Amino acid sequence: MNIPKSIKIAGHNYKVIYPYDFIRNYKLGSFSPSRQEIRITDLTRNGSKRHKEQIMNTFCHEILHAIESEYVIECLKERDVELLSNGLYQVLRDNNLNFGE
């Protein structure tokens, strides 16, 4: 699975910016509903390169935030999104699920 330049979520196209430099605010990824953007960094919080699996997990995490926003799911806490993204990425990876390829 590769990081695409854009992704469609709930009928809306989101631009995916990867790699993105968060310039010292220590984020690994972000989702902006107003800009319709997902941003993912390829660097750890200390500036070294992140492993591809970590990057893909962050991508799943930000996709879940976009789904949460689009479908007005207001009950998820950040920890819930973190756990769901870990599970989603594990299922995709362990089953070689590359939809559309």
Task: List pLDDT tens digits, range 27-55.
Answer: 999 999 999 999 999 998 888 999 999 99
**Residue 97 confidence class, pLDDT cut points 50, 70, 90:** confident
pLDDT at 94 over 80: yes
Which class is 6-94 in CATH?
alpha beta
Residue 100 has pLDDT above 70, yes or no: no
Q: For the whole model, what pTM was predicted?
A: 0.91
What lies within 8 Å, CB to CB, of 86 at 6+ separation is 57
Least confident of 3-12, 52-61, 67-76, 90-99: 90-99
Q: Where are the beta strands (DSSP E) in 1-101?
A: 6-9, 12-17, 29-32, 37-40
DSSP assigned state of 4: -
**Within 13 Å, how many C-alpha atoms sit on residue 23's CB side?**
0
Q: What are phi and psi of 27, to 5 degrees?
A: -85, 150
CA–centroid distance for 21 within its chain: 15
Residues 6+ apart with CB under 8 A from 75: none
Whole-number pLDDT of residue 2: 83
User: What local confidence, expressed as pLDDT, does residue 20 receive?
Assistant: 95
Sheet of 6-9, strand order:
6-9, 12-17, 37-40, 29-32
Express each pLDDT in 6-23 by its tens digit. 999 999 999 999 999 988
- Residue spans of the domains in the chain: they are 6-94
pLDDT over 70 percentage in the chain:
96
